[in-house]
Structure 1
Amino acid sequence: MIRVFGQLKKKKKKKLSFFLGNMERNTAFPLFAGNHSHINTTCSRDNLLKTVVFPVLYSFLFLVGMSLNGLAVWIFLRIPSQSHFIIYLKNIVVADVIMTFTFPFKVLSDSNMASLGLRIFVCRVSSVLFYLTMYISILFFGLISIDRCRKTLNPFKGTNATRLKYRKLLSGAIWTFLVILCLPNVMLTSKPPTSPYFQCSKLKTEAGLKWHEIVNHVCQVIFWGNLLTVIVCYTLITKELYRSYSRTNQGTTKKPRQSKRKINANVFLVLGVFFVCFVPFHFARVPYTISQTRGDRFDCKLKLFFFQLKESTLFLSSLNSLLDPLIYFFLCKSFRTTLFNTLHQLPCTCSWLIERGSDTDTGSSPQGNSSACT
């Protein structure tokens, strides 16, 4: 009887271990034994949202983003870097193009159509490039906010070759710093996967995990520092525009008031894109990170919720590559003029669009045709 009982007990353990193994493969994150003693099959990340909805959205984003950013690159190649603003915009265009190229890899990986080697490539390279370009864009949004603030408070202060040289050196330093910061994430993601179902963190060495944590802290400092910069700059811009509007409102003519309203709307476009694209993700990232690092305090459903919240706000960050061309068009007069000339259209046919933009950059169209529409 004792021998029979022992054999039955071993069979039950084998069945339980087989069941747990299957459940671990069906989930994209380890399940922790908290207050729930059973394993819920609804906690799998491979649901409709991840495998269908987001791949469709990112596919659309890739097609439209490549079209708009390809056109933006073509136009900016024709515009000389004659202002700080244009230099910053050119750097954002490059970051947006690189980010857009990562979307197809994310589509294949999330829809479970990628091979094992491609999924490893996504973990090692594609995801790193995505986050690299995101924080480059965040840094240049901060610099654009400073530049817009300077132009609003000191509208008659020009620029010179020395200042332009310093801005180009600053741009190069930003790219160099972030590439050096992110490169170890590529090199230290070198462990072979132990199963077809793996997280990217499982491919990192011990040093890679520590470096990844350091990079996360640095990126948080970059975001919150630039968020503070944007808030301070646009607070000053709002005060100055309000004073200017009040002074103009005391005049007798209506035309200056109408022009001031248009400038208000365009200047705050940068603020709107920054808050729509970057703020939600970084607020959602805090509880998601806590749920991953202190998983024993969260059940699997709550962890799944934070994962879906993070992925949803990450899509908003990706939307930045689609919204940036609006900034180029409405805030950069050189961009608009060159666009119309490149498309062989008379600027007069689009005068309502040209008039909506404020003359916020000192660069001129290489064709010298900016005053053709009267």
Structure 2
Amino acid sequence: MNSSAAWSPTLVNTVVAHISVFSLSATSPPTPPMPISSVVTPDTTSCSLDDAAFHLPLAVVYSLLFLFGLAGNLFALWVFLFVHASRNSVFVFLINCAVADLVLLACLPFRIFYHVMGNRWLLGHVACKLVGNLFYMNMYISIMLLGLISLDRYLRLKGKRRERRGLGLRLCGCGLPWSWVACGALWGLSLVALVPMIATAEDKEDNHKCFQFKRRQLARGKAYFNVVLVILFWFVFLMLAVSYAKIAYRLIKVSRDKPELPNALRYERTAKKSFFVLFLFTLCFVPYHTFRPIYILTQLNATASCDYLRVVDHINEVMLLFSALNSCLDPIMYFLFSGSVRKTALHVLEKRLGNRPLFQNEATSNSSTTEFRRPSVPLALTRTSKQDTTAHHSPPSETQ
């Protein structure tokens, strides 16, 4: 008993010392994991981009755009196809523009449902890519059509209608106008570009997420393709701005140099209306494509912080609303520039209200339906006296 009692303090001290060492080694965190976790790059799989405050506003705004855009474009398409019989080049572009807007609008209910469900996608990643790419495809088709309309009106002003018709004959060999050739090529190329965008895999396929920021570390080809689209947009924007500036300058110049012409006032009004298209184009598409390069660079950046990704994603959502707004404003453009749409709309209002609309006289006297019957630009825009006489009978194109 005495021997064991003598040795017990030493044994106890040894055991306590070993326990202390083991307890320190067990409680101290290992050094390697800390540096590894600190250099992990942000990823959209671990970084939530959802903001519950955005869900309801986005759903409401897209719903309003869908309802107003659907009603306006269906009405315009009905007028173009069943009320008005002429088929000049601008008329063909307007039909295709209305169709592109309707296809884009058909994608909005999917976005509305997605935001109503709290940004949860239930249809799989293939359907997500199909809806998303159809939306962008028709947005860029609308952009190209607005550019083609500006080019057509500029060529019409320069008196090159025969060259455009000859171009159509040479391209098709079957007598199709150049407008149908251009629209067919535009739709065909768009569908060809749509297929690889859907078939190509993303960096991360998530069946429950859609319409959000996506990395492009592996799918770099899609990022480069988006860069090409941005460059194409700015080319079209420059062409549209130059064309309408020259059109407005020529029409205003004629109206002021030749005020005795019966249609001199209409020239100036038509010139001012031309700037509405440029305003619409700028309002809807310029903000989105100004921010687009930043968005693409962020997709290619592997070290962006989670907060930065969230800000970029939210700004892109707001900019995209402006682009979708174009489909809602295009019917206003049809109303201002197409006498057929304007007269039919006012006639419907007359029946609904049971009395004569206040703008009936203006719509009748200032109608641009003669533009469809006489697609050639007024020869008053040149300097010969013979062309001045012709201008009394053929007013400038109002239709856009």
TM-score (normalizing by structure 1) = 0.76
Residue 77 of structure 1: which of 49, 67, 81 is its match?
Answer: 81
Tell which deviates more after alignment, 268-277 or 46-55. Answer: 46-55
Following superposition, the deviation at residue 80 of structure 1 comes to 3.5
Are the aligned partners of 1:58 and 1:107 in contact in 2 as well (CA < 8 Å)?
Answer: yes
Following superposition, the deviation at residue 63 of structure 1 comes to 1.4
Query: How far, CA to CA, are the matches of 1:148 and 1:14 in structure 2?
Result: 66
Residue 67 of structure 1: which of 71, 76, 85 is its match?
Answer: 71
Are the aligned partners of 2:89 and 2:152 in contact in 1 as well (CA < 8 Å)?
Answer: yes
The letter of the residue matching 1:108 is F
Q: What are the ranges of 5 or more consecutive residues in structure 2 without an aligned counterpart?
A: 1-19, 170-174, 375-400
Following superposition, the deviation at residue 155 of structure 1 comes to 9.7
- 2:289 equivalent to 1:282: yes
CA separation of 1:119 and 1:259: change in aligned 2, threshold 3 A: same
Query: How far, CA to CA, are the matches of 1:202 and 1:311 in structure 2?
Result: 13
The letter of the residue matching 1:123 is C
CA-to-aligned-CA distance 1:66-118 (integer Å, 9 cap, x gap): 11122222222213452100100111111100110111111222344465432
The letter of the residue matching 2:59 is P
CA separation of 1:279 and 1:115: change in aligned 2, threshold 3 A: closer
Following superposition, the deviation at residue 198 of structure 1 comes to 7.7
Tell which deviates more after alignment, 113-122 or 87-96. Answer: 113-122
Tell me the equivalent position of 2:59: 55
- 2:187 equivalent to 1:180: no
The letter of the residue matching 2:199 is M
Aligned 1:77-116 pairs, distance under 5 A: 77-78=81-82, 79-80=84-85, 82-113=87-118, 116=121
Are the aligned partners of 1:329 and 1:336 in contact in 2 as well (CA < 8 Å)?
Answer: yes
Following superposition, the deviation at residue 287 of structure 1 comes to 1.7
The letter of the residue matching 2:93 is Y
Tell me the equivalent position of 2:371: 361
Are the aligned partners of 1:95 and 1:133 in contact in 2 as well (CA < 8 Å)?
Answer: yes
Following superposition, the deviation at residue 140 of structure 1 comes to 0.5
Are the aligned partners of 2:65 and 2:325 in contact in 1 as well (CA < 8 Å)?
Answer: yes
Residue 307 of structure 1: which of 310, 313, 321 is its match?
Answer: 313
CA separation of 1:89 and 1:360: change in aligned 2, threshold 3 A: farther
Residue 270 of structure 1: which of 277, 300, 306 is its match?
Answer: 277
Following superposition, the deviation at residue 15 of structure 1 comes to 12
CA separation of 1:295 and 1:165: change in aligned 2, threshold 3 A: same
Are the aligned partners of 1:153 and 1:237 in contact in 2 as well (CA < 8 Å)?
Answer: no
Query: How far, CA to CA, are the matches of 2:365 and 2:176 in structure 1?
Result: 27
Residue 236 of structure 1: which of 237, 240, 246 is its match?
Answer: 246
Are the aligned partners of 1:91 and 1:171 in contact in 2 as well (CA < 8 Å)?
Answer: yes
Are the aligned partners of 2:280 and 2:329 in contact in 1 as well (CA < 8 Å)?
Answer: yes
Query: How far, CA to CA, are the matches of 2:151 and 2:307 in structure 1?
Result: 43
Following superposition, the deviation at residue 64 of structure 1 comes to 1.4
Following superposition, the deviation at residue 11 of structure 1 comes to 10
Number of residue pairs matched by the alignment: 343
RMSD: 4.0
Are the aligned partners of 2:280 and 2:326 in contact in 1 as well (CA < 8 Å)?
Answer: yes
- 2:130 equivalent to 1:118: no
Following superposition, the deviation at residue 268 of structure 1 comes to 1.9
CA separation of 1:45 and 1:130: change in aligned 2, threshold 3 A: same
Q: What are the ranges of 5 or more consecutive residues in structure 1 without an aligned counterpart?
A: 32-43, 365-374
Tell which deviates more after alignment, 210-219 or 84-93. Answer: 210-219
CA separation of 1:243 and 1:282: change in aligned 2, threshold 3 A: same
TM-score (normalizing by structure 2) = 0.72
Query: How far, CA to CA, are the matches of 2:105 and 2:46 in structure 1?
Result: 31
- 2:146 equivalent to 1:141: yes
Tell me the equivalent position of 1:128: 133
Query: How far, CA to CA, are the matches of 2:162 and 2:150 in structure 1?
Result: 16
CA separation of 1:303 and 1:200: change in aligned 2, threshold 3 A: closer
Tell which deviates more after alignment, 197-206 or 324-333. Answer: 197-206
The letter of the residue matching 1:334 is S
Name the SS for the 2:122 alignment partner: helix
Are the aligned partners of 1:145 and 1:230 in contact in 2 as well (CA < 8 Å)?
Answer: yes
Residue 182 of structure 2: which of 147, 170, 173 is its match?
Answer: 170
Query: How far, CA to CA, are the matches of 1:116 and 1:13 in structure 2?
Result: 39
